Structure 1
């Protein structure tokens, strides 16, 4: 079962796959923020100081278009995200290491 049943997940993946490598995973440890998308910088973007950007509650079809446009423009480190994506930005989860 998908976390957000009203969203066409396959279409969201298809749209994003047109501009970037997409990896679908079961869990990113922020279930309450589903659908979560992490936009990683390109090699050039990382060299320019870009870091991964976490987006949560990406549950509108149009959001995939906004993300794709940002990636086409260069993505993290090379292009500012569209203002609308500021509404989706979240902090990555803190990973808790198992006690030894």
Structure 2
């Protein structure tokens, strides 16, 4: 019989569409990820979307995805696509270029 349960770490690769560039989406995502204790990265895509990877406890990653559905105040989100992947051991959270 197992005593206690290991926290399940997950990885979500997320693409956010809408008015998401030029509205502090990346900076706000960094702040939100730090508050949630989620690792990964965020960057502007060449197609006008924002792309992000969130890795950490399932509940925290799900909370980040929920946050992406509204984003910072000036953003207007039209779609959020999520692909679940095997965790790669991300550390920290950064803006990629």
TM-score under structure 2 normalisation? 0.32
TM-score of the aligned structures, taking structure 1 as reference length: 0.31
More helix, by proportion = 1
Return the structure number with greater strand share: 2
Tell which has more relative contact order, 1 or 2 (C-alpha 8 A, sep 6+).
2
